[in-house]
Structure 1
Amino acid sequence: MSKTIRLAALSAAVALAATPALAHPGHLAGAGFLDGIGHPLGGFDHLIAMVTVGVYGATIGGRAVLAVPGAFMAAMLAGGLFALTGGELPLVEPAIYASTVVLALLCVMPMSRNGIVGALFAAFFGLFHGFAHGAEMPADAAALGYAAGFLTSTAGLHAAGAALGLALHRLIGRREESGQSA
């Protein structure tokens, strides 16, 4: 079995293991920085999407290692602000669930190795993730602190994904150089 097929199968299995982002428990009145940090860590859908954004940026390489996660975070912040101002966005939960599948598949599709395309996909899904968090934020939450914590945690998950992606890329490259099948 080729390495692309194995990576696609692994990506699909991880993506299918995610559950929808329904009703994210744990939002308490007065939520602030620490609650913002903890929120992305409490849902498997968030973990998969945010780590995968980092892997995808590393898969593309070059400036995309920072640009893809940066686009996700910027759009996530915009989506959160839009929700806080009373905006409406349809299909938020299905888009969040789809992000886990689509981003994982983009990591293994050779046609998706374009930094601009990667940043656009990341921004699209980041908007939905951000909107969900802005809409779920308690009315008396410390919005600035919560957003700062959420962005900090998201950046850490993106960095972990990028490190994982770069490590896998090096491992696969070494195997190919030695003539082994990955």
Structure 2
Amino acid sequence: MPALVRLPPVRLARWAGPATLTTALVAGAGPASAHILSSAGGFASGFAHPMTGADHFLAMFAVGIWGAQMGGRSVWTLPVTFPLIMAAAGLAGMSGLVLTHVETGIALSILALGLAIALRLRVPEALALLAISVFAVFHGYAHGVELPLATDPAAYAVGFVVATGCIHVLGIGVGLVLLRPMRGRLAQGLGAAIAAAGVAYLVA
């Protein structure tokens, strides 16, 4: 069984604070109606959106942490694959392609990535990349639908991609820092908090 399952109640209690805080943040952020903007600016708006949208931030942050946790090539292949697939899905959204259950897919991506970190899930790199790609489709499509509404779609897209890269790098850094303390259980606790946020989005 994964290490998380064997943790005694005392250690689980240490995770209650981050999990509660993350869940409260998501609950206050509201559902993904924030994805559909009546109007958006250029680079600054594109950069700010993933930084201020808790659902996208958590998913991209988790990709970096999971990549760092898995180690090897996954440290960079996961964070590189996510924005590439997201960009392709964004183009599909801009072209008018219809994708249903987008918000459910986004919420499930947060839940799944959080659980992968919490359970220290190690899978073949190809399987991890497949999962990352599926999640990226939902995130990219949501923003592709928004792009035509921006006053400067190209600048908005560049800002969004740059912000995504920054969030991935932040996740990698946090993941690497938390690998050793308490044998990586701090990272697992953060993953549990992210998974709790995913549950909050699903029931919102």
The equivalent of 1:162 in structure 2 is: 172
Q: Classify 1:21/1:71 alpha carbon distance in 2 versus 1 (closer, same or farther; 3 Å).
A: farther
Equivalent AA in structure 2 for residue 29 of structure 1: S
Map 1:32-181 onto structure 2 (within 5 A). Answer: 32-173=42-183
| Count of residue correspondences | 174
The equivalent of 2:201 in structure 1 is: none
Work out the CA distance in 2 between the residues paired with 1:50 and 1:174.
20
Cα shift at 1:170 = 2.4
Work out the CA distance in 2 between the residues paired with 1:100 and 1:16.
12
Cα shift at 1:110 = 4.6
Work out the CA distance in 2 between the residues paired with 1:15 and 1:142.
35
Cα RMSD (Å): 3.0
Work out the CA distance in 2 between the residues paired with 1:133 and 1:70.
18
Cα shift at 1:109 = 3.1
TM superposition outliers: structure 1 runs of 4+ over 6 Å:
none
Equivalent AA in structure 2 for residue 106 of structure 1: A
Cα shift at 1:71 = 1.2
Work out the CA distance in 2 between the residues paired with 1:42 and 1:84.
22
Equivalent AA in structure 2 for residue 96 of structure 1: I
* TM-score, scaled relative to structure 1: 0.82
Q: Deviations over 1:91-110 (max 9, x none)?
A: 10000011110011111335
Cα shift at 1:84 = 0.4
Q: Deviations over 1:5-45 (max 9, x none)?
A: 35999599479824565211694635211111000011111
Equivalent AA in structure 1 for residue 131 of structure 2: F
Q: Is the 8 A contact 1:4 1:108 kept in 2?
A: yes
Q: Which secondary structure does the structure 2 equivalent of 1:62 belong to? A: coil
Cα shift at 1:50 = 0.9
The equivalent of 1:180 in structure 2 is: none
Q: Is the 8 A contact 1:28 1:138 kept in 2?
A: no
Cα shift at 1:144 = 1.7
Q: Which secondary structure does the structure 1 equivalent of 2:149 belong to? A: coil
Point out where structure 1 has 5 or more consecutive residues left out of the alignment.
176-182
Work out the CA distance in 2 between the residues paired with 1:112 and 1:103.
12
Cα shift at 1:136 = 2.2
